[in-house]
Homo-oligomer: A and B are copies of this chain.
Amino acid sequence: MSRTAGAGGQAPGGESGAGSGPHQGVPLAERLDRIFLARVVEPGDELGGRWLREHGARAVVRRLTGHGAAHGGGGPLPGVSEKRWAGLRARAERADPARDLARAQRLGARFVCPGDGEWPGQLDDLGDARPLGLWVRGRASLRMWALRSVAVVGARACTEYGAHMAAVLGADLAERGWVVVSGGAYGVDAAAHRGALGAGGATVAVLACGVDQAYPRGHTELIGRIADQGLVVGELAPGEHPTPSRFILRNRVIAALTRGTVVVEAAYRSGALATARAAQRLGRFTMGVPGPATSALSAGVHELLRGDAVLVSDAAEIAELVGDMGELAPDRRGPVLPRDLLEPGARRVLAEVPARRAAPVEEIAHGAGTTADDVVGRLYELRSLGYVERHGDGWKLTRQAMISVSSDREEC
């Protein structure tokens, strides 16, 4: 295991270096230890989480690399057979976290882990199965976006009806300021991502492989667009490929990251149902879009709806369910974070959002001297914080935000 790389990751917006900026927090050494461990144990394996909790990252890495042997720290950690320990040691031999980090940085990805400002705290609900960290491509803050996110998932081999519903829900949720999270797969996932992208909205693809991999291959262009306009996220290190179990375990991240999961179409025993059930276990909202009782691709959804899942027909019903009180009366909610704690990039965008009319993204980008993609990311963050609201294709300040922002403008 070599440790040569310098930067511990990039803050969202790519503005800050390792350990600096409001969204970073974890020292480089621990970050590299976590990247190392993520190469040794598979996603969702509670082993890594338990070791971290019981021994701390450093001690575990030392044991796995044999560095602790001289000080009596060698041998398998508790609960691991000799044979399994040998396998883990072999993986540890090949792990090179500094190289992983450098490779990720070359393609604009960062490693976000517990303790970072960008870490989405709701993932902690996964307990020891919590990801050791997430590789993230894209400008926006994963933490901010996840606060107002909904998963829209479903069958790969969906019907035209399923694709239509996913696209409409993706677009309409985006229109309402919700971040659409899905798995980047063919069928329902792709339709949901495209719906959100087409509406100029925010979307997050959680992959079951490295965030440098385009899987499925046919989605190379789509995943690139999501990385430009939204976020591409994954537990697996750059270069890693998906496996059946990785798909299943990826689903728990989608479920945990979001306020609720909507299943659009799913046959019996579909992977999308696994996401929905994970959401239920985590206490998230679980929703299903009904379809014809004669459709095998709705049978899994209907099974969910016969349980605790809630039937939803449109984005309004989803927002009503997963939205908090503020959703029903957004004007009465003020910003949850003081303006002067906003990142400089977000403040520049906020300064360009008008109070009395909704401005298109391009206009705001022009004023803030940045790209439209950057602005979209900032606006969705600001939306999470209660500063701005979306009206069709435009954005304006919320009523509560107007006072502080306008007084600030007078100061300038």
A residues sitting closer than 8 Å to B (CB atoms) are 161, 164-165, 289-294, 298-299, 302, 305-306, 310-314, 317
Contacts and interface: CB of A to CB of B under 8 A. Distances in A.
B305 A293 contact: no
Contacts of A310: 306
A276 to B, nearest CB: 15
A198 B361 CA distance: 61
Given A161-B294, A294-B165, A305-B305, A313 B299 contact: yes
A292 B293 contact: no
A278 to B, nearest CB: 21
Nearest to A310: B306
> Which of A290, A298, A310 has the most chain B CB within a 10 Å cutoff?
A290
A247 to B, nearest CB: 26
Contact of A313 (B165, B293, B313): B293
Contact of A290 (B161, B165, B311): B311
A161 B292 contact: yes
Contacts of A164: 294
A265 to B, nearest CB: 11
Nearest to A313: B293
Q: Count this chain's copies in the assembly.
A: 2
A309 to B, nearest CB: 10
Given A289-B293, A290-B292, 11 more contacts: A161-B292, A161-B294, A165-B294, A290-B290, A290-B305, A290-B311, A291-B291, A302-B313, A305-B305, A306-B310, A311-B311
Top 6 A-B residue pairs of the complex, sorted by shortest distance between their CB atoms: A290-B290, A293-B313, A305-B311, A306-B311, A289-B293, A302-B313
Contact of A293 (B165, B293, B299): B165
A297 B372 CA distance: 41
B290 A298 contact: yes
Nearest to A309: B311
> Which of A164, A306, A317 has the most chain B CB within a 10 Å cutoff?
A306
Contacts of A289: 293
A305 B305 CA distance: 9
Contacts of A291: 290-293
12 contacts: A161-B292, A164-B294, A165-B294, A290-B292, A290-B302, A290-B305, A291-B292, A293-B313, A293-B314, A299-B313, A302-B311, A302-B313
> Which of A164, A165, A292, A293 has the most chain B CB within a 10 Å cutoff?
A293
> Which of A161, A291, A292 has the most chain B CB within a 10 Å cutoff?
A292
A33 B223 CA distance: 78
Contacts of A165: 293-294
Contacts of A294: 161, 164-165
Nearest to A264: B293
Contacts of A299: 313
Contacts of A292: 161, 290-292
> Which of A294, A299, A314 has the most chain B CB within a 10 Å cutoff?
A294
Contacts of A314: 293
Contacts of A317: 306
Contacts of A313: 293, 299, 302
A299 B312 CA distance: 10
A15 to B, nearest CB: 42
A9 to B, nearest CB: 41
A298 B289 CA distance: 12
A158 to B, nearest CB: 13
Contacts of A290: 290-293, 298, 302, 305, 311
Contacts of A302: 290, 311, 313
A167 B405 CA distance: 63
Contacts of A311: 290, 302, 305-306, 311
A318 to B, nearest CB: 11
